[in-house]
């Protein structure tokens, strides 16, 4: 829908800031900001089971109890499939010989970097790993600490789509949420869902309709909804061929086509609405 495109542009247009990419399941803001890595940390999201084969007598109790099909029989020995293991600990407590232990599991990594636009905190969740909300909370907390240290005016967060745990972790207790949507039926549906979430969290909302001119009828439906909720002026960004070209070159649209209608509209948005 254009969330990261908008965040990349705001990274260039706004004042002193710390930037954080909270879309940890599919992080891509780094592709535009070209960060220089300073610090790298492992993210331990929880614990997973591990079987000590020297203690295991292959009684099969853990295998019969596991509801996630995480205990596998390989020949004459049982082992844990870490992708299936949810870390519930049932097998650990049930094993009569204490052959199962719960060990810290690395779910991903998080980073502190420098960019020409400001300090940047970002992360990468491992394939198929969970606890994305926990990772979002972690990197957001670190970004807030850096913002205080640097006396930044803004904490700019690039959030993930949807209304799930990572979105809640990224938006809770923020001053303003900028919702980027598009004039499609799915865009309207998803926008209304996330607005309901933000309304429950009591967070102020600004709305951007990206590529509004691809379907002006649906764009008008979004504007009508915003008007009914008293959300103020809606920013409408036209389709611009410069945007995919900027992404292809790996730079914010503000750096690729500073005189484009999209950039002018975003600049006015920053000056007048934020």
**Lookup result for tokens 């869902």:** 193
pLDDT digits 0-9 by tens, 37-91: 999 999 998 999 999 999 999 999 999 999 999 999 988 899 999 989 999 999 9
Three-state DSSP at 34 gives coil
Q: Which CATH architecture has domain 3-44+107-273?
A: 3-Layer(aba) Sandwich (3.40)
pTM of the full structure: 0.87
Three-state DSSP at 137 gives helix
pLDDT digits 0-9 by tens, 151-202: 999 999 999 888 999 999 999 999 999 999 999 999 999 999 999 999 999 9
As a whole number of angstroms, the distance between CA 183 and CA 217 comes to 8
Quote the tokens at residue 190. 């998803």
Q: Which CATH architecture has domain 49-106?
A: 2-Layer Sandwich (3.30)
User: Domain-by-domain residue ranges, the chain?
Assistant: 3-44+107-273, 49-106
């Amino acid at each position: 829908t254009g969330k990261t495109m908008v965040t990349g542009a705001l990274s260039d247009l706004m004042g002193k800031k710390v930037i954080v990419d909270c879309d940890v399941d599919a992080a891509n803001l780094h592709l535009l900001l070209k960060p220089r890595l300073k610090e790298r940390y492992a993210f331990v999201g929880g614990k997973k089971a591990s079987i000590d084969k020297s203690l295991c007598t292959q009684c099969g109790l853990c295998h019969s109890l596991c509801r996630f099909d995480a205990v596998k029989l390989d020949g004459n020995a049982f082992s844990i499939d870490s992708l299936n293991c949810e870390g519930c600990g049932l097998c650990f407590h049930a094993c009569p010989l204490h052959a199962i232990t719960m060990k810290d599991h690395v779910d991903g990594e998080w980073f502190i970097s420098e960019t020409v636009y400001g300090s940047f905190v970002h992360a990468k969740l491992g394939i198929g790993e969970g606890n994305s909300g926990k990772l979002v909370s972690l990197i957001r907390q670190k970004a807030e600490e850096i913002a205080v240290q640097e006396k930044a005016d803004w904490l700019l967060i690039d959030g993930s789509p949807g209304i799930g745990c990572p979105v809640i972790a990224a938006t809770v207790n923020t001053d303003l949420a900028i919702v980027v949507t598009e004039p499609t039926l799915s865009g309207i549906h998803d926008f209304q869902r996330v607005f309901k979430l933000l309304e429950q969290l009591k967070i102020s909302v600004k709305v951007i309709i990206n590529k509004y001119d691809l379907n002006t009828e649906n764009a008008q439906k979004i504007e009508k909804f915003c008007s009914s909720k008293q959300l103020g002026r809606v920013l409408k960004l036209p389709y611009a061929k410069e945007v995919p070209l900027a992404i292809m070159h790996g730079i914010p649209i503000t750096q690729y086509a500073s005189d484009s209608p999209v950039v002018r509209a975003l600049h006015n948005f920053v000056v007048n609405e934020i």
